[in-house]
Structure 1
Amino acid sequence: MIRRRRRPSVATDPFQPVVPTIPRARTEPVAIPREAPERVRLRAERRLKFTAACFLVGFAAIGLKMGAISASEAREPSIGARAGASIVSERSDITDRAGRVLATNVVATALYAQPHLMVDPVAAAEGLARVFPDMDADVWSRRFQSGSKFFWIKGNISPEQQQAVHDLGEPGLLFGEREMRLYPNGPLASHVLGGARYGEQDVRAAEIKGIAGVEAVFDDYLRDPAQQGAPLRLSIDLSVQTALEQVLSGGMRLMNAKGAAAILMDVHTGEVVALASLPDFDPNDRPRAAIEGDPADSPLFNRAVQGVYELGSTFKIFTAAQSLELGLTNAGTMVNTQGPLRQGRHRIRDFHDYGPRLSVTDVIVKSSNIGTARMALDIGAKRQQDFLRALGFFEPTAIELTEAPGARPLVPTRWPEISTMTISYGHGLSASPLHLAQGYASLLNGGTRVRPTLLARSAVPDPGARVVSTRVSAEARHMLRQVVMRGTASMGEVPGYQVGGKTGTADKPKHTGGYWDDKVITTFASVFPAQDPKFVLVVTLDEPEIDAAGERRRTAGWTAVPVASEITARVGPLLGMRPDFDPAQDAFGAYLTQAGLR
């Protein structure tokens, strides 16, 4: 057995530390790799190019921004607005029946001042007076130095005015953007649209509120965000409205009238296709309401809706129609026209002596006051009131205008026999031209009640309450056609359109009470085509006078009728109505003969 010799163990002292063995450091030199000089040069070039590119991009961005600022419109910061403040200013458009814009919103610029930021308040006031001639430099100079920190100067200014104010270089004159209501057609249909104004506002936005017309009636709808900007579509036709206003304005000047009104209405739906009152106004710059004098002298006064007048002989067809409906007469019944007709201390006369007797048709054609009054006496006061009430003459019209509810017809508190007689030919009861259009449409469309509206209808509404039979409605249309063919409205004939209508001339009342001795209101109410009625047209002139046939003329046949005739000729083609020419005979007369109605 071989034993291996054990290596002697190193004796250790527990109290002596063990010293580790440290290997001897190598003394040979270490080789460090070195890059080629060409590679170092290339790296330096790349770094320089990258740095140059960064500077180039930065300078290009700054240059582009400076160019954009210099090319943009001068704009001042909106100082002073509450953080997070927001005023809802979106308002829906208003369009005509074909979708053409009547009222819309545009972005406008307001001018305001913060005097505590001004360098020279006096120079600022003088500069503003040069830009805006209506501003008084002395007044605004005192305001700017009064210690107040904010002033509205102009709600809307033009771009040229904005640039002129900016050129003043005054830091205390500031601009704010907001929406404004714009009426692109100016005065056209101004009494229908009414107008709008600013409500709550700050320097960044303004609330638009309607103050008259459909703008006020439909204010909630136009401002309602739930409508999502859907336009309010009216029954007005822009082309027809333009033609009607042009002819009415020319006729008013030709007849030397103080004012005029016209209404064109669909006899079946009650849609008002055109409505005008002259003088008118521009809703973009709505004038202030008059605080004294006759309200009718103000251009804000809507003669077609607000004006209540005695409408004269246009009422005679209502009396004749009711007499026919009650079976008291027929179209050929002879009526006593011997005059004068006495009732107490009152005497009723005709404009001319028409002889002792006239048929009911000729009472209307000749416009006999005496014949109409005698028919009214047979009808009686109670039945007369009921009939006029059924036609809408005892209440305001339901049209969507702020002025309509206040235009209540003036009816007598007592209704003696003399009132029955005078109201039968349009005296003693005052109503608006719109009431008359409503009454004619209800009587002549077949005999059913119509209510006027300014909203376009998507379908023909259900017929209203019946006021007369279809037979009586047709006979009434025939009588009115005869008035144009051979009566007081002979100048109302429009070839191809078979116009029927009735004239009315009444003394003009004073706004303080009583009547003028030499001033009248003339009216012509017509329907066309008479054989198949589509539209009613009412034209009213205030204080017309014209020299014709060697005399001074003021009656409706010489004043209102020619104006209405020209309107019909102009708007007929615009309404898509083809003229119906029958050289042999009156087409409507042939229709009545064939139907056995005459």
Structure 2
Amino acid sequence: MIRTPLRPLARILRARERGENPDIIERENRRIRHEQMRDRERQVAEGRLLVLGALFVCAFAVIGFRMGVLAASEPREPRAAAPGSAIVAQRADIIDRNGRVLATNLETHSLYAQPPQMVDKRAAADGLAAIFDDLEADELYEDFTGTRKFLWIKRRISPEQMQAVHEIGDPGLLFGPREMRLYPNGPIAAHVLGGSSFGREGVASAEVIGVAGVEKRFDGPLRDPARDGAALQLSIDLGIQATVERVLHGGMTLMNARGAAAVLMDVHTGEIVTMASLPDFDPNTRPRPPVEGDASDSPLFNRALQGVYELGSVFKIFTAAQMVELGLADRHTLIDTQGPMTWGRHRIREFRNKDYGPHLSVTDVMVKSSNIGTARMALEIGIERQQDFLKSLGLFEPTAVEMVEAPSGRPLLPRRWTEISTMTISYGHGLSSSPVHLAAAYASLVNGGTRVQPTLLKRDAPVVGDRVVSEATSQAVREMLRAVVAEGTASFADVPGYAVGGKTGTADKPLTRGGGYYDDKVIATFAGIFPAHDPKYVIVVSLDEPVETSGDEPRRTAGWTAVPIAAEIIRRTAPLLGLPPQIEPGATEDITLTSN
């Protein structure tokens, strides 16, 4: 900065020439400099005051805006910030193939107590015990008067219960907002959905986690914020699932069965339209898993997926299909059925020692359900070829169904696969599998011969799997299954307009200990297809220890127990599936060509 001198030489010289006093010039210059300095300081002070005033105006504007927001919002309890990652409470919906809700979320509240803030602990304990039947007033009072500063009372409460707690009026009883999982259809498709529970919890929110079924299998995607709440769509049809469960429950009651399972599957896509297991449960109030006893006694046990049983004569169609596929026979080839059949110390007989004569065609072996005829065909096929064929149908490994319980449904194979194993497995004893395995295997045989992978996710188009049999063999299988219903052991499955085909299976139930089988307990199964001439769906119905008592003697065979239930399911669900009744096309050999 250039400073102006107080005694400029030029002015001093001129003042001396005129006889003036040079000191006056210095005083004047000093006065001017001081005035300039005061002006600059005043400008700086005024600028600072202006900035400070603007800051005060902004601060009061922010405070006023915040007060307005608080005044317009609902009051909430103050919460202390907790360290750690935030709890993600939002969970996507689960819907059926038509978009109907199977599982969704409901806003609710939790109830907790802070004893140091409570005014009348005795009155609060008595009031809570009066509202909630499962709470004891003395136990609550003991907790309130202890050293605890925080106490969960209820993880979720209804609006009515919340209002009742409000009326107690104690400031130490506080509420926390949260979401709960709601299954609006109650026990319908309970085993498929599985259920959910609370994971990490805070007073402001709680994460909802899957504990079983598809809820646990897809727990990550259902909670993934990146999916923006996109619903999980299943292949299940809610209306058909409800119908099947209603019919199955009525049939299980009429047949005095211990349990029941049903699977309805699209033969081309593998989509499971219905998976039912009885007894069932309500996933809104999911019971605790059993800690002792037989797991199958629990309503949580999924008989359709986890239930691994010897399914009996429903396996016979696999042997017949392989005979045709290998070129060892066709539908009309005669098979030796002379009995009894002896193999070492083992004897194979027909059911109730029936005599079907010296020979039956392959089709009649299925129609009559001949154990001897099937066993002789299995011997001709051989051990290795039988193993390869059953493996190609998926009967050696757990299914790929999208549920956490699927790996537990692993088929049980013989430790040593001998020739006697080959014979007994051909008619459904010695190899245990689940109803879902059976449905997928039947679908693979009748859809044209390509492997089907069962799924609980909706598919827009079929997934073509590996070929297991030829088109011609698939056609022969369909005709044989139709003959079983039209002429054989599954005659009660004949539903007018739908040309049902299928096979019955009645397997003695193994003893829980010591080996051997019960004399009066069976697993009765029917595996069917409809319409048989152009299959769209396969249905499997299985009953645990059924007994039909309308006649003079109790009847336990599948033809009397499982088949009528399957027929009623088809009768009610086929129209819902978009299948109108049709006249069954006649056989081509019955058509006579004539000239005009």
Match runs of 1:447-462 below 5 Å: 447-461=449-463
C-alpha contact 1:447 1:470 (8 A) present in aligned 2: yes
- Give the Å deviation of 1:576: 0.6
Residue identity in the other structure for 1:580: Q
In the other structure, the counterpart of 1:482 is 483
CA distance in 1, matches of 2:417, 2:497: 43
CA distance in 2, matches of 1:291, 1:325: 48
In the other structure, the counterpart of 1:342 is 342
- Give the Å deviation of 1:82: 3.4
- Give the Å deviation of 1:594: 7.0
- Give the Å deviation of 1:446: 0.7
Match runs of 1:248-327 below 5 Å: 248-327=248-327
In the other structure, the counterpart of 1:506 is 507
C-alpha contact 1:78 1:204 (8 A) present in aligned 2: no
C-alpha contact 1:86 1:205 (8 A) present in aligned 2: no
- Give the Å deviation of 1:270: 0.3
Report SS of the residue matched to 1:310: coil
- Give the Å deviation of 1:392: 0.3
In the other structure, the counterpart of 2:9 is none
Closer, same or farther: CA 560–95 of 1 in aligned 2, 3 Å: same
- Give the Å deviation of 1:267: 0.3
Closer, same or farther: CA 373–532 of 1 in aligned 2, 3 Å: same
CA distance in 2, matches of 1:538, 1:376: 24
C-alpha contact 1:338 1:355 (8 A) present in aligned 2: yes
Residue identity in the other structure for 1:385: Q
For 2:375, which of 373, 376, 379 is the aligned residue? 373
Report SS of the residue matched to 1:475: helix
User: Normalising by structure 2, what TM-score?
Assistant: 0.85
For 1:392, which of 391, 394, 404 is the aligned residue? 394
Q: Does 1:465 align with 2:460?
A: no
Report SS of the residue matched to 1:88: coil
Q: Does 1:220 align with 2:220?
A: yes
C-alpha contact 1:110 1:155 (8 A) present in aligned 2: yes
The answer for unaligned runs of 5 or more in structure 2 is 1-20, 22-67
In the other structure, the counterpart of 1:151 is 151
In the other structure, the counterpart of 2:201 is 201
Q: Does 1:496 align with 2:493?
A: no
C-alpha contact 1:78 1:174 (8 A) present in aligned 2: no
The answer for unaligned runs of 5 or more in structure 1 is 1-13, 15-61
For 2:587, which of 577, 585, 590 is the aligned residue? 590
Report SS of the residue matched to 1:564: helix
CA distance in 1, matches of 2:427, 2:591: 31
Q: Deviations over 1:182-240 (max 9, x none)?
A: 11111110111111111111011111111111111111111111111111111111111
Report SS of the residue matched to 2:275: strand
- Give the Å deviation of 1:261: 0.4
Report SS of the residue matched to 2:138: helix
Report SS of the residue matched to 1:411: coil
Report SS of the residue matched to 1:497: coil
- Give the Å deviation of 1:533: 0.5
- Give the Å deviation of 1:548: 3.0
Match runs of 1:122-201 below 5 Å: 122-201=122-201
CA distance in 2, matches of 1:149, 1:121: 13
Residue identity in the other structure for 1:239: G
- Give the Å deviation of 1:87: 1.8
C-alpha contact 1:113 1:151 (8 A) present in aligned 2: yes
CA distance in 2, matches of 1:85, 1:328: 67
Q: Deviations over 1:437-458 (max 9, x none)?
A: 0100001111110000011012
- Give the Å deviation of 1:509: 2.6
Closer, same or farther: CA 412–78 of 1 in aligned 2, 3 Å: farther
- Give the Å deviation of 1:109: 1.0
In the other structure, the counterpart of 1:5 is none
Q: Deviations over 1:121-157 (max 9, x none)?
A: 2332222111111112222222222211111111111
CA distance in 1, matches of 2:76, 2:323: 75
CA distance in 2, matches of 1:519, 1:252: 15
- Give the Å deviation of 1:516: 2.7
C-alpha contact 1:81 1:203 (8 A) present in aligned 2: no
For 1:578, which of 580, 583, 590 is the aligned residue? 580
CA distance in 2, matches of 1:512, 1:289: 23
CA distance in 2, matches of 1:591, 1:275: 37
Report SS of the residue matched to 2:320: helix
In the other structure, the counterpart of 1:416 is 418
CA distance in 1, matches of 2:493, 2:428: 21
Closer, same or farther: CA 76–85 of 1 in aligned 2, 3 Å: farther
CA distance in 2, matches of 1:118, 1:337: 85
Closer, same or farther: CA 118–382 of 1 in aligned 2, 3 Å: same
Q: Deviations over 1:144-189 (max 9, x none)?
A: 2221111111111111111111212222111111111111111110
Closer, same or farther: CA 241–541 of 1 in aligned 2, 3 Å: same
- Give the Å deviation of 1:510: 3.9
For 2:555, which of 553, 556, 577 is the aligned residue? 553
CA distance in 2, matches of 1:306, 1:196: 20
CA distance in 2, matches of 1:156, 1:121: 22
CA distance in 2, matches of 1:548, 1:446: 40
Of residues 512-521 and 280-289 in structure 1, the stretch that sits farther from structure 2 once superposed is 512-521
Closer, same or farther: CA 516–475 of 1 in aligned 2, 3 Å: same
In the other structure, the counterpart of 1:533 is 535
- Give the Å deviation of 1:340: 1.2
C-alpha contact 1:78 1:176 (8 A) present in aligned 2: no
CA distance in 2, matches of 1:261, 1:213: 16
C-alpha contact 1:81 1:204 (8 A) present in aligned 2: no
- Give the Å deviation of 1:356: 1.8
CA distance in 2, matches of 1:340, 1:458: 51
CA distance in 2, matches of 1:553, 1:537: 22
- Give the Å deviation of 1:335: 1.1
User: What is the alpha-carbon root mean square deviation over aligned residues?
Assistant: 2.2
Of residues 78-87 and 311-320 in structure 1, the stretch that sits farther from structure 2 once superposed is 78-87
- Give the Å deviation of 1:540: 0.5
- Give the Å deviation of 1:88: 1.4
- Give the Å deviation of 1:80: 4.4
Query: How many residue pairs are counted as aligned between the two chains?
Result: 524
Closer, same or farther: CA 162–255 of 1 in aligned 2, 3 Å: same
In the other structure, the counterpart of 1:444 is 446
Q: Deviations over 1:342-365 (max 9, x none)?
A: 111111110122122111100000
CA distance in 2, matches of 1:294, 1:421: 30
In the other structure, the counterpart of 1:104 is 104
In the other structure, the counterpart of 2:29 is none
Report SS of the residue matched to 1:211: strand
Report SS of the residue matched to 2:208: strand
CA distance in 2, matches of 1:96, 1:594: 45
Closer, same or farther: CA 426–294 of 1 in aligned 2, 3 Å: same
- Give the Å deviation of 1:401: 0.6
CA distance in 2, matches of 1:386, 1:104: 44
In the other structure, the counterpart of 1:38 is none
CA distance in 2, matches of 1:593, 1:206: 69
C-alpha contact 1:78 1:203 (8 A) present in aligned 2: no
CA distance in 2, matches of 1:78, 1:280: 43
CA distance in 1, matches of 2:304, 2:238: 18
Closer, same or farther: CA 513–264 of 1 in aligned 2, 3 Å: farther
C-alpha contact 1:76 1:174 (8 A) present in aligned 2: no
- Give the Å deviation of 1:85: 7.6
Closer, same or farther: CA 200–430 of 1 in aligned 2, 3 Å: same
Residue identity in the other structure for 1:359: S
CA distance in 1, matches of 2:490, 2:509: 21
